[in-house]
Amino acid sequence: MRASGKGATAAHGVVQTRFVLELDGVTRVHGEGARYVSALVNAHLALQPGEFVAVMGPSGSGKSTLLHLAGGLDVPTTGKVLVEGADLAALSVTDRAVIRRRSVGYVFQDFNLLPALTAAENVAFPLELDGWSARRARLEALAVLDEVGACELADRRPEEMSGGQAQRVAIARALVGPRRLLLADEPTGALDSATGTVILQLLRERADRGAAVLMVTHEARFAAWADRTVFLRDGRIVDETGPSDASQLLAEQAS
Amino acid sequence: MSVKHAMLALLSRRPCTTYQLRKDFDLSTSQAWPLNIGQVSTTLQRLHRDGLVVRESGTDDDTSSPEPWRLTELGRAELNTWWHSPVLREHRGRDELVIKFSLAVLVPGVDVVGLVQRQRTAMQRMMHDVTRARREVAMNDLAARLVLDNYIFTIEAELRWLDSVEESVARASLPHEERVAVEIEPETVPGRRTR
């Protein structure tokens, strides 16, 4: 999908846009000569607030590369990645780290919670890194834990939680503060089917409340919770589900 | 699908008119397999002929009567036999999708990988629609949830089959030496992750 709807370029390389995330002709290559590998080729993708997009594809198709680029963990060889209008490649390493901390939340397959901290401390941690007072960060963390139905876990450490509970806390951490972009890498990979469905319900709910969610998964059943699915193969976006005939019909009837 | 046994099952709850049976059947299956009133009426006539149902009064055999039907003892026994018998899927016969791919790998010049992807996209779109419908089903509507879950798992099985088709086609297109290596690799390399 091609990005569109941009306005004028403002100061500091920030573009007024209706998209939370835009990948505009993004290519990422590694190595040279015989070791040259195209991990992602000319990818166009745009997510609006409240949009939930799933990415599917076989191993080595570029799913993780796409997610890393979207989150500013990697930079494209050519093309642009814009998070809330900011071109990540045009930023300094420090500014990119600030964008990652303030605008992007990550959910990983293995949760990545800090083992020595309680759930509330884990969720409050990115806010404290951003200069919030410990008290204010904790209050905000408790509010987000409550939103994701995990307030009873506030004082538990990760080792005292089930996989589903830990992922719930990880989602709270990904969403705490002003962040509106949630990147999820196989978030159900370490969970049983029923718990996986609960996590998808939660991600769907967050999207319905305005977050943009980009999720990599290899489970078609879980991808179906998204608004659309993008298929990758050999680093290229080869297809996407787009709106269904039924959705189009409903939209036409509503207009 | 056994309309006959569905009618017996619905009548085991309480006597019902032909119209009510049709309505109850649609509700119990979330209108997944809609029946017209003629199909229900014909089924009831056969059940009546075989002594499995009678009019509630036990006297009227006029099939156009609005009087409710009820199960006979014979009907109840037939229903019990059905409850206790596992249902085995009938052979699907000529499946257009399977035939299409079987031909695609035989006919020169067909882009099988593209064909797989188009089919996958269409089925994933269907999965989105059914999942959306499933999300909107009320928690207490267990029958609708079971029907929609069945759709979801059926689509998922076909999507997995498409993955398998794609792998088989990719493997078949490799030179012989590489094909042998790919086929034995998962067993000879311990700890290899496969998805």
- Range ranked top by mean pLDDT from A238-252, B128-142, B165-179: B128-142
Quote the domain boundaries for residue A190. 11-254
Which of the two residues, A32 and B90, has the higher pLDDT score?
A: A32
Q: For the domain that residue A198 is a member of, what is the CATH number?
A: 3.40.50.300
Complete DSSP assignment for chain A: --------B-GGGBBP-S-SEEEEEEEEEES-GGG-EEEEEEEEEEE-TT-EEEEE--TTSSHHHHHHHHTTSS--SEEEEEETTEEGGGS-HHHHHHHHHHHEEEE-TT----TTS-HHHHHHHHHHHTT--HHHHHHHHHHHHHHTT-GGGTT--GGGS-HHHHHHHHHHHHHSTT--EEEEESTTTTS-HHHHHHHHHHHHHHHHTT-EEEEE-S-HHHHTTSSEEEEEETTEEEEE--S-HHHHHHHHHH-
Residue A7 has pLDDT above 60, yes or no: no
Percent of chain B past pLDDT 90, that is, above it, reads 49
Say what the pLDDT of residue A99 is: 87
pLDDT of residue B91: 61
Structure-block tokens of residue B79: 């229903």
- Is there a domain that residue A4 lies in? no
Cα–Cα–Cα angle for A15, A242, B118, nearest 5°?
Answer: 130
pLDDT tens digits, A168-226 = 999 999 988 888 899 999 998 888 888 888 889 989 988 998 999 999 999 999 999 99
Residue A65 has pLDDT above 80, yes or no: yes
Per residue in A146-165, pLDDT (tens digit) is 988 899 999 999 999 999 99
CB of A216 within 8 Å of any CB in chain B?
no
Alpha carbon of B22: minimum distance to chain A alpha carbons (Å): 27
Residue A5 resides in a domain: no
Task: Using an 8 Å CB-CB cutoff, list chain A residues near B121.
Answer: 229, 231, 239-241
Report the range of poorest mean pLDDT among A72-76, A115-119, B60-64, B129-133. B60-64
Inspect the interface and report whether the beta carbons of B117 and A226 lie closer than 8 Å: no
Cβ A177 vs Cβ A104: under 8 Å: no
In percent, the amount of chain A with pLDDT more than 70 equals 89
Which of B126, B152, B195 lies nearest to residue A221, judging by beta carbons?
B152
A124 assigned to some structural domain = yes
Is the pLDDT confidence value at A110 over 80?
yes
Predicted local confidence at residue A206, as pLDDT: 86
Q: Is the ipTM of this complex over 0.85?
A: no
For residue A195 the two structure tokens come to 């718990």
In chain A, the number of structural domains is 1
Interacting residues of B97 by C-beta distance below 8 A, sequence separation 6+:
B119, B158
Tens digit of each residue's pLDDT (9 = 90 or more) over B35-88 = 899 999 999 999 999 999 999 876 655 556 788 999 999 999 999 998 888 877
Euclidean distance between CA atoms B42 and A218, whole angstroms? 47
Mean pLDDT over A5-16 rounds to: 50
Dist CA B172 CA B168 (whole Å): 6
Residue A76 lies in a domain: yes
Q: pLDDT value at position B163?
A: 92
